[in-house]
Amino acid sequence: MKATQRDYAQAARKAGDKLRIFFFCGADEAGASAAVQKVVATLEAPGERLELTGAELRSDPVRLVDEARSTSLFGDARHIFARVSGEEALTALQAYCDLADNGEADEAWPIFIVATSATDKSRSAKLLIKRSDSLVAVFYPPDLRSVTADVRAMADAAGLRLSGNVAERIAHAAGLDVRLAQSEVDKLALYLDASPQSPKQATPEDFDVIGASTEEDGFMPLVNAALGGEVRKLPGELRRLREVSLNPVGVALALERRAAQLASLSAKLRPGDDMQGFLKSQGVFFREHREVGDQLQRWSGGKLERLVPRLAELHRSLLSNSQMAELILSQELAQIARYAAARR
């Protein structure tokens, strides 16, 4: 079964308990991950989460089947979550489908796969699309307008009434990452002691209090220094990374988001297009026109195709090496900046 990022939740509800595999792919890794959380929340008994990596599934394809059919440590319910790149899960999915077709996976736990650098045209997606026990959904990079709408929906659910341009400011401060935006909404609701039973009005001044560190000490100056090839500026930004304790995984997510945005824009940009007019027509935030335009000129479509999976691998490395995350991130940012600078 196939769905879009707009109707995946409805498709999941309609299918009910029949679904065993959720394959969420596309350039918007953040949106796909957020979708997993939404679907898991609807499960009658989601139980504990077992996380697998693409590398683990590639080296041991049978593990997906074994984990999906095994019991948790305490005999409770569980669900499987795997973050993969491209076709890393293909062999594992084939093994699972073979067992399911023989009636040996009827009681298997739900499997959620977020596949960066994969699309509905990938072999993994094609394997699952025609199956009644699987749901494939593609997630494309959102624009400021769509994330702002998502923020308003998050605020409504949290008991917040947003005034003025607060929703847009939250979307922009989060780098169009819905997970980070949700975090900002949660902080704002906590600050105002808001709840669905006791709604509160949120003003721009309220967001100034809880959102200052996100906007002033945020991820984007570091992201822009790396992707813009600003090798002289990067050391200062890396120093700021340490001084204000920026989350390395958050920086990596912001990098992935910008790379996905550049890939989407690059596919639409035509020779001779006026850059400012093009960026405006694509809904790019006006304060980011200079940085995004410069980065589009530095990163061609082919280079971006290699950059996106590299950033996904960086993300996995940071998650599995939390003690060394800052060093790993700094080294990767330095390499990206040197490469971007060489393409002047």
> Where exactly are the structural domains of the chain?
2-138, 144-214, 220-341
Domains 2-138 and 220-341 share a fold: no
Please compute the mean of the pLDDT values over residues 51-72 and round it to a whole number: 88
More confident residue, 313 or 71: 313
Q: What pLDDT score does 100 carry? A: 92
Q: What pLDDT score does 72 carry? A: 56
The rounded percent of the chain whose pLDDT value lies above 70 is: 95
Task: Give the span between the Cα atoms of 258 and 222, in whole angstroms.
Answer: 12
309 and 116 Cβ atoms separated by less than 8 Å:
yes
Q: Compute how many other C-beta atoms are within 10 angstroms of the C-beta atom of residue 13.
A: 11
177 and 259 Cβ atoms separated by less than 8 Å:
no
Q: What pLDDT score does 86 carry? A: 87
Confidence of residue 76 (pLDDT cuts 50, 70, 90): confident
Confidence of residue 308 (pLDDT cuts 50, 70, 90): confident
262 and 141 Cβ atoms separated by less than 8 Å:
no
Q: Is the pLDDT of residue 212 over 60?
A: no
Please give the helix or strand (H or E) that residue 80 lies within, else none: strand 78-85
Q: What pLDDT score does 320 carry? A: 78
The rounded percent of the chain whose pLDDT value lies above 90 is: 41
1 and 136 Cβ atoms separated by less than 8 Å:
yes
Confidence of residue 216 (pLDDT cuts 50, 70, 90): very low
Please tell me the CATH code under which domain 2-138 is placed: 3.40.50.300
| Lookup: tokens for 186 | 């949660």
Q: Is the pLDDT of residue 74 over 60?
A: no
Q: What pLDDT score does 180 carry? A: 77
Task: Cite the beta strand spans of the chain per DSSP E.
Answer: 2-4, 21-25, 48-53, 78-85, 111-116, 134-138, 160-162, 200-202
CA count, 13 A, side-chain hemisphere, 109? 26
Confidence of residue 75 (pLDDT cuts 50, 70, 90): low
Which of helix, strand or coil describes residue 25?
strand
CATH fold, domain 144-214, is Helicase, Ruva Protein; domain 3 (1.10.8)
Question: 2.60.40.1840, 1.20.272.10, 3.30.360.10, 3.20.20.70: which CATH number matches 220-341?
Answer: 1.20.272.10
Which of helix, strand or coil describes residue 212?
helix
